[in-house]
Structure 1
Amino acid sequence: MRSFETGETVVRRDVHRSGRVWSEQALRVLADTGEALVTACAPGAEARWPALYAKARDNGDRSVRTEAFDAMATGLWELADAVWRETDLLLWKPPEAWFSVNAFFVPDSGGGRRLRNWYVNFEHPTRRTEAGFDTFDLTVDLVITPDLTRWEWKDEDEYAHVRRLGIVSGTEHQAVDDARAEVLAMLAARAGLFAHAERWAAWRWEPAWATPRLPRSRATTERVAPEEG
């Protein structure tokens, strides 16, 4: 599969093992190297999320997120048009890793932007597509302070729930455990993206950049070939 050009718009999709698309998000390519695909977006970037998940974001009711996972287990859900809100996002995704490292930027008191936190999302390795890449969010996350000195696990309760539902298999659970150890070692050694944390923390979305948008045609986005195995 081809490499992506800097400035190109790509689509990240979370794809369930059934082949159904769980979500998709438009991103701008910052770099595409053997080490990682680096992308970004800002408020207004187009996305599509499960309708229940979008409802949970709107009303802050985490019980609706649980309903969304229950729907995922049945294989029946509807996608709703959405836009990225509030934060600028920088996403660093090594191709074979069971995680991505994300940085979230928010307004500062001087009218600029500041790094709010690092956020490690545990997910499937990348599968390249013509339009971008596919992965699958495995729910549990690691939140790290901007200076890399403190961290905490997030959504362990939801992770336990999706494991009970069979959404995360035993093989995937082992991969997540291995990835947790890999990320903590990378953090302790200031390796990978964390070796260049100061440079990435200084990154800013350029206001002149066009807002990433999803492709207009969605005829093939609802279902893709299911994973083997």
Structure 2
Amino acid sequence: MRRDVHRSGRVWSEQALRVIADTSEALVTACAPGAEARWPALYAKSRTDGDRSMRTEALEALITGEWELASGAWQDTELLLWKPPTGWFSINAFFAPGPGGAWRLRNWYVNFEHPTTRTDSGLDTFDLIVDLVIDPDLSTLTWKDEDEYAHVRRLGIITDTEHQAVDEARAQSLAMLEERRGPFKDAAAWADWRWDPAWPAPRLWQPVQGAERPLSG
């Protein structure tokens, strides 16, 4: 289970994932339609209604620390996610049905977020809004949600320390792309990856109350 945990200690989101590989270099997980999730209710409604202003309202709730989570499920895409243990970003490959219904790599996606903290149920991090979208052939880059990132910076939701870490992570991820390191080294193999239909949709881990704690090491 991947959780976004705000610095107040409150959980912002939860996403059930399947572990594909766990090495000293990175934790690789996957997701597919039907995987269980919990998101801020306003954020979920903004996606359903296509109302981006409601998404902004959801982000502003981070100031007050008051939000409700709504249960949901991953939809439309399959996801393969590469997360280095100390990195302020993850590299994601999104797959979607193409012509004829065959699944294929839709795009790469660099998500800027806190380094990983391991827990009994999986990993904790926190999304830092801005993202980098990369075409399947690695030729074209597009920065995403820069406006929202600037907004939450003004509100103080993202601190100066976090902002500096994001700037460094931007440079690191671009260098990885340029030098074909990490998942980009095996881009063809990643593009050929497919979710096994025999795998059940990931379900959220339900801890006994008070049992959740970080793992040592």
TM-score for both structures, normalised by structure 2: 0.95
Q: Retained in 1: the 8 A contact 2:31–2:80?
A: yes
- Report the counterpart of residue 18 of structure 2 in structure 1: 28
- Determine whether 1:48 maps to 2:38: yes
Using the TM superposition, give the Cα deviation of residue 120 of structure 1 relative to its aligned residue in structure 2, in angstroms: 0.3
For structure 1, the residue ranges without an aligned partner over 5 or more in a row are 1-10
Q: Retained in 2: the 8 A contact 1:22–1:79?
A: yes
For structure 2, the residue ranges without an aligned partner over 5 or more in a row are none
Aligned length: 214
C-alpha distance in 2 between matches for 1:33 and 1:94:
9
- Determine whether 1:69 maps to 2:59: yes
C-alpha distance in 2 between matches for 1:116 and 1:93:
19
- Report the counterpart of residue 171 of structure 1 in structure 2: 161
C-alpha distance in 2 between matches for 1:48 and 1:218:
18
C-alpha distance in 2 between matches for 1:212 and 1:20:
23
Q: Retained in 2: the 8 A contact 1:20–1:224?
A: no
Using the TM superposition, give the Cα deviation of residue 220 of structure 1 relative to its aligned residue in structure 2, in angstroms: 5.1
Q: Percent identity?
A: 70
C-alpha distance in 2 between matches for 1:56 and 1:89:
22
C-alpha distance in 2 between matches for 1:115 and 1:192:
17
- Determine whether 1:186 maps to 2:176: yes
- 1:122-161 residue CA offsets vs partner (Å, 9 max, x unmatched): 0000000011000000000000000001101000000011
C-alpha distance in 2 between matches for 1:135 and 1:25:
11
1:41-190 alignment to 2 at 5 Å?
A: 41-190=31-180
Q: Retained in 1: the 8 A contact 2:15–2:36?
A: yes
C-alpha distance in 1 between matches for 2:50 and 2:208:
29
- Report the counterpart of residue 3 of structure 1 in structure 2: none
C-alpha distance in 1 between matches for 2:164 and 2:99:
43
C-alpha distance in 1 between matches for 2:68 and 2:89:
26
Using the TM superposition, give the Cα deviation of residue 53 of structure 1 relative to its aligned residue in structure 2, in angstroms: 0.4
C-alpha distance in 1 between matches for 2:34 and 2:208:
19
1:6-21 alignment to 2 at 5 Å?
A: 11-21=1-11
- 1:36-87 residue CA offsets vs partner (Å, 9 max, x unmatched): 0000010000000000000011011110110001111110000000100100
C-alpha distance in 2 between matches for 1:63 and 1:224:
35
C-alpha distance in 1 between matches for 2:198 and 2:178:
36
Using the TM superposition, give the Cα deviation of residue 178 of structure 1 relative to its aligned residue in structure 2, in angstroms: 0.3
TM-score for both structures, normalised by structure 1: 0.90
- Report the counterpart of residue 28 of structure 2 in structure 1: 38
- Report the counterpart of residue 202 of structure 1 in structure 2: 192
- Report the counterpart of residue 213 of structure 1 in structure 2: 203
Partner amino acid, structure 1, of 2:59: F
- Stretches (4+) displaced over 6 A: none
What is the DSSP-based 3-state SS (H/G/I as helix, E as strand, rest coil) of the residue aligned with 2:62?
helix
C-alpha distance in 2 between matches for 1:59 and 1:216:
29
Aligned alpha-carbon RMSD (Å): 1.5
